[in-house]
Structure 1
Amino acid sequence: MTTITPFAAGSYLTNRTASNLSTLKNQLNDLSNQISSGLASQTYGGLGSGRSAALGAQATLSALAGYASGITAAQTRTNLAVTSLTQVVTMGTSAGATLNNGLQSVAASSVAGRATALGDLQTAFDALNQSAAGNYLFGGSDATTQPVADTNAILNGVTNSDGSMKAGLTQMIAEQVGADGGPGKDGWLTVSQTAPTQISIAEPGNDAVRANFGFILAGKPSSTTSAIQSTYTAGTATSAGSLQVNVNAQPAVGDSITLTLKMHDGTTTSFTLTAAASGSSPASSATSFALGTNGDTAATASNLNAALTSAIAAAASGPLAVSSTATASSHFFTGSVKGGPAGTGVMPDRVQFDGSGTPIGYRSATPQDTVLWYQGENTYSAPTTQTPAINTQSVQVSGSSSIGTGARAIDPAVQNVLAGLATMAFGLPTTSNATTRATYQAVIDTAGGRLASANGSGGVQDTVTQLSIASARLSNASTTNKATQSTVQNTLDGIEQAPTEEVVAKLLDVQNRLQASYQITSTLSKLSLVNYIS
Structure 2
Amino acid sequence: MQISTLSQSLAMRQSINDMRAQFDNLQRQLSTGLKTDSYAKLGTDRNTVLSLAHQLSQLTTYTNTITKTGMRIEIMADALTRMNSIASETKTSLASSGFELVNGKQTSAQIQAAMQFDEIVNLLNLNVEDRYLFGGRDTQTRPVALPSAILNGADGKAGLKQFIAERALADLGANGLGRLTLGTAGSTVTLGEDAAPSVFGFKLANVNSTLSNATVTGPTGAPPALDMEFTGLPEAGEKIEIELAMPDGTTTLVTLKASAANPAGKGEFTIGVDAAQTAANFQTALNEAIGLEARTTLKAASAVAASNNFFDYAAGGAPQRVDGPPFESATGLRDATDADTVFWYRGDLSGTPGNNFVAQIDQGRQLAYGARADQDAIRDMLKMSALLSAVEYSDAQDKEELASYKALSGRVTKTLNFKGVQSLESIVTGLGLAASTLKQTQDRHDLVMASANELLGDIQNADPYEVGVKLTTLQTQLQASYQVTAMLSKLSLVNFI
TM over 0.5: yes
Evaluate the alpha carbon distance shift between residue 40 and residue 187 of structure 1 in structure 2; reply closer, same or farther with a 3 A threshold.
same
2:287 alignment counterpart = 309
Matches of 2:122 and 2:328, distance apart in 1: 37
1:125 alignment counterpart = 121
SS in 2 for 1:359: coil
* TM-fit CA distance, 1:247: 7.5
Evaluate the alpha carbon distance shift between residue 427 and residue 150 of structure 1 in structure 2; reply closer, same or farther with a 3 A threshold.
closer
2:38 alignment counterpart = 43
SS in 2 for 1:141: coil
Between the two proteins, the alignment pairs up a number of residues equal to: 492
- Of 522-531 and 419-428, more deviation after overlay is shown by 419-428
Matches of 1:526 and 1:272, distance apart in 2: 133
Evaluate the alpha carbon distance shift between residue 182 and residue 355 of structure 1 in structure 2; reply closer, same or farther with a 3 A threshold.
closer
2:160 alignment counterpart = 169
SS in 2 for 1:74: helix
Tell whether 2:372 aligns with 1:408: yes
Matches within 5 A, 1:66-465: 66-93=61-88, 95=90, 101=95, 107=99, 111-159=107-155, 165-195=156-186, 197-204=187-194, 206-208=195-197, 211-223=198-210, 225-226=211-212, 229-236=214-221, 238-246=222-230, 248-249=232-233, 251-252=235-236, 256-274=239-257, 278=261, 280-281=263-264, 287-290=267-270, 295=273, 300-335=278-313, 340=315, 345-353=316-324, 358-380=329-351, 386=352, 389-390=354-355, 392-424=356-388, 439=404, 442-443=407-408, 446-453=411-418, 456-465=420-429
Matches of 1:356 and 1:127, distance apart in 2: 36
Q: Which amino acid letter does the alignment assign opposite residue 226 of structure 1?
A: S
Contact 1:114/1:428, CA 8 A, preserved across alignment = no
Matches of 2:308 and 2:69, distance apart in 1: 32
Evaluate the alpha carbon distance shift between residue 219 and residue 498 of structure 1 in structure 2; reply closer, same or farther with a 3 A threshold.
closer
Output the TM-score relative to the length of structure 2: 0.87
Cα deviation code 1:155-177 (max 9, x no counterpart): 11111xxxxx2111111122222
Evaluate the alpha carbon distance shift between residue 490 and residue 26 of structure 1 in structure 2; reply closer, same or farther with a 3 A threshold.
same
SS in 2 for 1:353: coil
Q: Which amino acid letter does the alignment assign opposite residue 284 of structure 2?
A: A
Specify every segment of 5 or more residues in structure 2 that has no aligned partner in the other structure, as ranges.
Answer: none
* TM-fit CA distance, 1:15: 1.8
Matches of 1:461 and 1:370, distance apart in 2: 32
Evaluate the alpha carbon distance shift between residue 426 and residue 235 of structure 1 in structure 2; reply closer, same or farther with a 3 A threshold.
farther
Identity across the alignment (%): 30
Evaluate the alpha carbon distance shift between residue 135 and residue 356 of structure 1 in structure 2; reply closer, same or farther with a 3 A threshold.
closer
Output the TM-score relative to the length of structure 1: 0.81
Evaluate the alpha carbon distance shift between residue 504 and residue 239 of structure 1 in structure 2; reply closer, same or farther with a 3 A threshold.
closer
* TM-fit CA distance, 1:320: 1.6
- Of 514-523 and 354-363, more deviation after overlay is shown by 354-363
Evaluate the alpha carbon distance shift between residue 528 and residue 434 of structure 1 in structure 2; reply closer, same or farther with a 3 A threshold.
closer
Q: Which amino acid letter does the alignment assign opposite residue 157 of structure 1?
A: G
* TM-fit CA distance, 1:95: 4.2
* TM-fit CA distance, 1:475: 1.6
Runs of 4+ aligned residues of structure 1 deviating over 6 Å after TM superposition are 354-357, 427-430
Choose the corresponding residue for 2:464, options 472, 482, 500. 500
Specify every segment of 5 or more residues in structure 1 that has no aligned partner in the other structure, as ranges.
Answer: 160-164, 381-385
SS in 2 for 1:416: helix
Contact 2:270/2:281, CA 8 A, preserved across alignment = yes
Evaluate the alpha carbon distance shift between residue 302 and residue 358 of structure 1 in structure 2; reply closer, same or farther with a 3 A threshold.
closer
Cα deviation code 1:392-411 (max 9, x no counterpart): 22322223323223221111
Matches of 1:59 and 1:332, distance apart in 2: 53
Evaluate the alpha carbon distance shift between residue 115 and residue 154 of structure 1 in structure 2; reply closer, same or farther with a 3 A threshold.
same
